[in-house]
Amino acid sequence: MTRLTHCKFGESKPTCGKCTVHCYKPEKRQRIIEVMRYSGPKMLFAHPIAAIRHLVDERKKAN
């Protein structure tokens, strides 16, 4: 949460995959990609509203 609170984009922050500023080290970013590849599709069933919000946020561009 610390990285999110210090993000220069604030509330208009896009998802990490679309962000122009990378807060995490490359190893950590790769691990996030692996986790999302596995858990992303499952989110549609477990938490459909959160998954849809994430997909909408993914369409935003960083300012």
Is residue 63 assigned to a domain? no
Better-scored residue on pLDDT, 63 or 28: 28
Residues listed for the chain: 63
Predicted pLDDT of residue 1: 61
Chain segment 9-55, per-residue pLDDT in tens: 777 777 777 777 888 888 998 998 899 899 988 999 999 999 898 88
Is residue 30 assigned to a domain? yes
Predicted pLDDT of residue 18: 75
Is residue 43 assigned to a domain? yes
Is residue 22 assigned to a domain? yes
Angle between helices 26-46 and 48-58 (to 10 degrees): 130
Is residue 36 assigned to a domain? yes
Domain tally, the chain: 1
9 in Cβ contact with 19 (< 8 Å): yes
Q: Which domain holds residue 31?
A: 2-58
Predicted pLDDT of residue 45: 93
